[in-house]
Amino acid sequence: MPLSDVLHQDAAQVHLQRALRAGRLPHAYLFTGPAGVGKEMLATRLAQVLLCGNAGVGASASSAAAHAAAPADADVPSSGGGLFADDAGPSLFGEDTPSLFGSETEDAAAAATAKPAPADAGPVCPGKIDACGHCIDCTLFAAGNHPDYHRIHRMLAKAHPDSTVRGRKATTLSVDVIRHFLLAPIGVRPSRGRAKVFVIVEAERLSDEAQNAMLKTLEEPPPRSYLILLAGSPDSMLATTRSRCQQVSFGTLPREFIVERLQTDRSLPAESAAFLAEISQGSVGMALKYAELGLHENVALVAGAIGRAVTDPLGASKLLQDFAKELAAPLKQNQDDDEADTNASRDAQVLILAMISTILRDAQRRLVGAAPLALGDHALVARLAASADTSSLRGAIRALSRAEYQVGRSVNTGLIFDAAAIALSRAVPAPM
């Protein structure tokens, strides 16, 4: 799949294209931003560009004419110095490999000699540097078998040769994993000669020891080695790690894009897609996960609990707690992980609180005459809007976010839901 196909991360795309075109890609990137907005997707596609045998401008267009007509040169610095002109590192593919991006002549020659792309290779945006999608490297990459692509994650501890490491809980990305799966292979020449790419997921979970062990490599990686660290909360990483990486931030995705993806990929009706898009807060990855969990099928249950809270808050709390337990089971199955139990119940509780807040926010919108975003004309939203006022709804939403904050912080689940239900009962005057 082409690099240019990753949508709605324009700032990151422009940044990468400029660096690629200037032939001065930094050796260490830190992609930051919320989960599920395309960080790993972009990192993976960038890795493919770096490993592809025919990467270049409009690589699969197979026509020098198409390249010459490409319009995107406008955002290339005319000095040729590139965005990172003072980066002292070697050029994109090092000194000993002919650069595909070195000159117009080489670019045109590469495009002219590229094999015609098969019909299913997918579109490559003309004018942008991309992988060709059909060379041996691209084929290996697509099959998940490229020997020079390394995805580093904390659960690799379970594949570590040392049984002591395998036996430990893999809650952090440990120094053992970094030494064995990153520092050892990065010192060896690339198997297929072009480059070596390491994508480190959940980099915020790197232990301090692991980060310290990586410092020298981040500072001066072996030639043609690239590290791309992905982090949701980079502030928890050591400043020394962050300062050695070129940081690129990723934003949340437009609501309409998420709604459309849910409708096309999951065949969801518009109202279910709208509800999940609201809860996912700009993350298509989370929205797709919620669709898989069937959260949209439980709107009635949550709406029922909100209605019940008016007269029987503790009964409503019990309903919500039971739902949290039910939801935790599939969440746990999704996590092949040492923290599955804790994570699953915490995630389930947070999700249910988010569902309630989403419904209340819709009522708030309706109250002020705006169109509800998540539930449209849902009867509960109409009833809430008719019987509550904005300040009491706001109070309940605040109480729910306090409850979200308490989840996973050693506060008893029963107490959290009791407090949330009592806040709801205060927000909505009986009878509904």
User: Applying CB under 5 A, which residues contact Zn ion?
Assistant: 52, 54, 131-132, 135, 138
We find the least distance from the C-beta atom of residue 59 to Zn ion, in angstroms, to be 7
We find the least distance from the C-beta atom of residue 110 to Zn ion, in angstroms, to be 11
Which residues 6+ apart lie within 8 Å of 260 measured at CB? 273
We find the least distance from the C-beta atom of residue 194 to Zn ion, in angstroms, to be 10
Greatest CA separation for the chain = 78
From its phi and psi, is residue 115 left (phi > 0), alpha (psi between -120 and 50) or beta? Answer: beta
Task: Please say which residue, 135 or 396, places its beta carbon nearer to Zn ion.
Answer: 135
We find the least distance from the C-beta atom of residue 141 to Zn ion, in angstroms, to be 8
- Going by C-alpha positions, the residue among 85, 197, 73 that lies closest to residue 129 is 73
We find the least distance from the C-beta atom of residue 17 to Zn ion, in angstroms, to be 17
226 membership: H or E segment, kind and range:
strand 225-231
| Whole-angstrom distance, CA of residue 129 vs CA of residue 50 | 10
Task: Please say which residue, 6 or 100, places its beta carbon nearer to Zn ion.
Answer: 100
We find the least distance from the C-beta atom of residue 25 to Zn ion, in angstroms, to be 17
The answer to whether the CB of 355 falls within 8 A of the CB of 346 is no
Q: Other CB atoms closer than 10 Å to residue 284's CB: what's the count?
A: 25
**3-class secondary-structure state, position 63:** coil
HEC profile for 338-380? CCHHHHHHHHHHHHHHHHHHHHHHHHHHHHCCCCCCCCCCCHH
Report the Cα–Cα distance between both ends of the chain, in Å, rounded. 52
Task: Please say which residue, 137 or 202, places its beta carbon nearer to Zn ion.
Answer: 137
Task: Please say which residue, 52 or 354, places its beta carbon nearer to Zn ion.
Answer: 52
- Going by C-alpha positions, the residue among 204, 223, 153, 143 that lies closest to residue 182 is 153
We find the least distance from the C-beta atom of residue 137 to Zn ion, in angstroms, to be 5
**3-class secondary-structure state, position 56:** strand
Task: Please say which residue, 55 or 374, places its beta carbon nearer to Zn ion.
Answer: 55
Task: Please say which residue, 32 or 54, places its beta carbon nearer to Zn ion.
Answer: 54
Task: Please say which residue, 130 or 202, places its beta carbon nearer to Zn ion.
Answer: 130
